[in-house]
Chains A and B, each alone.
Chain A
Amino acid sequence: MSGRRPRVLALVVTLAVLAAAGGSAIGPASATTAADTLSEPAFVVDLQPDGDATVSLVVTYDLADDADQQAFEQLRADPSNLTGKFEQRLSQVAARTATDTGREMAISDVGATVETSDGVGVIRVSAEWSNLASVSGNELTLTEPFASEFQPDRLFVVTPPEGYQLADSSHEPADRTDGTTQWTSGMDLSGFSTTFATSGVSSETLPTPLSTLLALGLVSALGYAGHHRLQQQ
């Protein structure tokens, strides 16, 4: 019994570490959308399981005086003049992206919200973008239009649906916080491809070569241990 204890302990440690490592990669996504909480310039993509997305341009404005506050109150009451051109332009980008990808896309529900916080006005101009991400099984993949030389002048934030986690990305995110994945301002995202997957299939949450390697390593270790034990007996 005493001879088996270290081996059992090693296996337990191995499984625990595996569980811990896997757990960190497939943790639950935050239910709060990044666009609602960010108060710095950003472009936010909140993905939905069907590939649709809410895209939001977050604009910040320093409120210097009462006139700025008053202006913000007016815009809060009627933000319609902030959205006209955005809708037209984004619709054209979506139409061309649809042609490029072969997926039907449309822009709808364009709107703006205005709020103030600690002397800073935050304006969020948002729209629904249908089929922005491709859907394959339990995977959501974002490519175009970001892959075609998208270089945001602000933080680029992608939030997967609840239960999805980052599985794969062509560009290393600068940060992964509260279930969001973020790339820094000015980063050239040419060739961008990022996949999120549900936690149900854990093998998909890690890069395939590494997962395979780990599995093979474990099997080999356990096999060798069993073989060694038989030889000793």
Chain B
Amino acid sequence: MRATQLIAVLVALSLVVGSVPAAAVASTATTGAAETAQLQTNSTGTNQSETNQSASVRASTGQQLSTVLAVTDDEVKSAVEESSVEALFAAAAETERAELIASRGSTLRERAAGLVADRRAATAAYENGTLSTADYAQRVAVLSGQAATVSNAITRVQQRAVTVSAAELEAAGYDAAAVADTQDRLRSLTGASSRALLDQYTAVSNGEINIERGNGVEIEVESEDGEQSRSFERPQPGDGSFVVEMNDAQATAEAALSTDTDGEWTLEEAKRKPEYGFYEFEFVFEGPTRTGEAEVDVDGQTGEIFAFEEELEPRDDDDEEPEDNTRLLISVVDGEPAPGATVTLQVTATGDPVSGVDVEVGDSVVGTTDDDGRLTVTLPDDKEVDIEVEDGERDGELELEFADEEDEESEDEESQESEDEEGEEREDEESQESEDEEGEEREDEESQESEDEEGEEREDEENETDEQDESEAETEAEDEIATADGDLAISVVSGDPAPDATVTLEVSQGGQLVADATVTVNGEQVGSTNGNGQLTVTFPDDEDVEISVESGDSDGDRDFEFDTDESDEEDA
């Protein structure tokens, strides 16, 4: 072989072997690459360290584009789906409409359960360090976008439901309470901080994101346009009992609110949640330059905050001047609020007591505040008490809601007889507790008023229940959460309970999910809960189904009683 030939062929072969892949995987020495390196430093500036408990991140443009694509994909699919459901609904008769609503409601509940589970999994991965702060924030943003579409779709289901008779819905197996409860479950993804993350990661706003992990995860987002949001969430401590008094819990909640801005927080609503063992407080903020709102959950046994959402935003030019309409704050400063209890209220404005203010409990004026802004009142023997004060252009309102342990115990027995008959009433009661950020539930309520006669009749029945038969309404709330028998609570998180139906159960204790709990259905052991406290089971084809759970020394049970077709017909 001639040397010349050998070299020439070698060169040719080297070209064949090396050219194509080399062209595809090129060096990075280009203008663009240099630009990239600099931008990487700028756009992803972070002081994150996996060993640290706190990290600040900013959404980079690439992450924003990725999120925009994911969220838009979900929104487009949802639009198609909704359009399809609407087409079916428009063409269907009453019975088919009810079935469609039931089916759609069930689908959305499962989807919501999946999103909540994804959020939990992401949080767990972030807490154990397998997910970075930036990836966690982006993940929550995408889930928040998906939760928003599910939440909107649920609202549309509820709007359609009021146009169909209650009997048809019941026959179709529509679980209105569970659908309404789903909105509540989605709040971890539709709350202020999650929405703020979505805005950051879809480039709607830019700003700083700070995420802290330790005993729970705290997310703080501050956008360049002045909006601030803070959230904190961790498993609920305590055993579900109430040791801490409501006014002490309220003080704890108030102490957690931001105080670095001029203005005043006012308690708008206080609830005692016996089925979960915690207090829920809702506040609004009014200041000369900012407005805001917050919701704080305080554990009833330990008095610790385990869920916190706060949002502050610049006051719009159109907003009323706060100086002329400062809200009055009503606080319980002495006594434990309860039906029939005697408590001392104090009315303040920007921290100063307000004397000579008429205090209205229910629809009656019960007295006037003294020089210290105080008035001792006896609360009516109701489970919801509205207290209002008015002083010129200033006013204030405090809503108290309670349910005592005795009711819970009696409810448990009653619920087995009536839970399937009046499930819609639960929806009404629970929907009042769950807020929709964009007021869509309010629209829903308003739309109920203008619906057809059947819808009006249902609404009337529901209002009657709310106002006159709270005990029964509370009973219905036990459909999804049962705590009276045993200290383990059993919830149905997806699927509609019915004979031969497949549902996913969730077992919790004091708000914490219980893994490896043994689940028994009608005396037969069917399995154990997974790491998320869940187990999917198929109900026997019986009218009565008893679920029992056991974990260590704790146990709980829950009974389901299903109507036969004959009784349905009678009801209808």
Contacts and interface: CB of A to CB of B under 8 A. Distances in A.
A41 B79 CA distance: 17
Interface in B26-40: 26-33, 35-37, 39-40
A75 B202 contact: no
Interface residues of B, number: 66
A208 B23 CA distance: 10
A107 to B, nearest CB: 11
Nearest to A173: B24
Interface string A111-139: 00000000001010100000000101000
B44 A206 contact: no
Contacts of B69: 43, 57, 152-154
Contacts of B77: 59, 61
6 contacts: A6-B5, A41-B73, A71-B81, A74-B87, A191-B37, A214-B11
Given A13-B12, A193-B30, A71 B19 contact: no
Contacts of A134: 31-32, 35
Nearest to A58: B73
A86 B202 CA distance: 9
Contact of A72 (B2, B5, B80): B80
Interface in A69-127: 70-72, 74-75, 81-82, 85-86, 88-90, 92-93, 95-97, 100-101, 121, 123, 125
Chain A, interface size category, equals: 35 or more
Contacts of A172: 24-25
Given A67-B87, A195-B30, A152 B66 contact: yes
A179 B19 CA distance: 17
B203 A93 contact: yes
Interface in B295-332: none
Interface stretch (B57-65, B182-190, B230-238): B57-65
Contacts of A150: 62-63, 65-66
A148 B39 contact: yes
Given A10-B9, A206-B22, A149 B72 contact: no
B19 A145 contact: no
A208 B27 contact: yes
Interface in B324-366: none
B61 A145 contact: yes
A142 to B, nearest CB: 7
Given A74-B83, A86-B68, A210-B19, A147 B73 contact: no
Contacts of B20: 21, 24-25
B17 to A, nearest CB: 10
A92 B71 CA distance: 15
A176 B20 CA distance: 11
A61 to B, nearest CB: 5
B130 to A, nearest CB: 16
A89 B72 contact: yes
Given A14-B9, A72-B80, 7 more contacts: A92-B202, A101-B39, A134-B31, A150-B65, A192-B62, A195-B30, A207-B27
B93 interface: no
Contacts of B76: 57, 59, 61, 82, 123, 125
A208 B14 CA distance: 15
A93 B73 contact: no
Interface of B: 2-5, 7-9, 11-16, 18-20, 22-33, 35-37, 39-40, 42-44, 60-66, 68-73, 75-77, 79-81, 83-88, 134, 202-204, 206
Contact of B64 (A57, A61, A96): A96
B32 A141 contact: yes
Interface of A: 6-7, 9-11, 13-14, 17-18, 20-22, 24-25, 41, 43, 57, 59, 61, 65, 67-68, 70-72, 74-75, 81-82, 85-86, 88-90, 92-93, 95-97, 100-101, 121, 123, 125, 134, 136, 141-154, 166-170, 172-173, 176, 189-195, 205-210, 214, 217-218, 220-222, 224-225, 228-229
* Best-buried of A24, A68, A148 by chain B (most CB within 10 Å): A148
A166 B32 CA distance: 14
Contacts of B16: 17, 20-21
Given A143-B35, A167-B26, A93 B64 contact: yes
A57 B80 contact: no
A145 B73 CA distance: 19
Contact of A209 (B19, B27, B70, B206): B27
Nearest to A90: B68
Contacts of B86: 71
B84 A153 contact: no
Lowest 3 CB-CB distances: which A-B pairs, in order? Answer: A150-B62, A225-B4, A145-B61
A214 B42 contact: no
Contacts of A100: 39, 42-43, 61
A24 B16 CA distance: 11
A151 B4 CA distance: 50
Nearest to A6: B5
B548 to A, nearest CB: 39
* Best-buried of A13, A147, A191 by chain B (most CB within 10 Å): A147
